[in-house]
Amino acid sequence: MLLNILQNRLRQQRRNELLKEVAEVRQEYAEGNVKFGSTADFMAELDESEEKAHG
């Protein structure tokens, strides 16, 4: 019985965390802060950022 209560609370806590994350992503998307592309695009952008940071 106690184990079930704890498991349910953990599930609800995780559910709440996911809802918060979804809301944040939706907000970022609405603000135009989300980019789409391939993995290669992402890696190239990371490389560019690193080069700019290190000169």
- What is the predicted pLDDT for the residue at 52? 83
- What is the predicted pLDDT for the residue at 44? 92
**Tens of pLDDT along 1-53?**
999 999 999 999 999 999 999 999 999 999 999 888 999 999 999 998 888 88
- What is the predicted pLDDT for the residue at 35? 83
- What is the predicted pLDDT for the residue at 36? 86
How far is C-alpha 28 from the geometric centre of its chain's CA atoms?
A: 11
CB contact at 8 A, 48 and 41: no
Q: By residue range, what is the domain housing residue 24? A: 2-53
Please state the domain count of the chain: 1
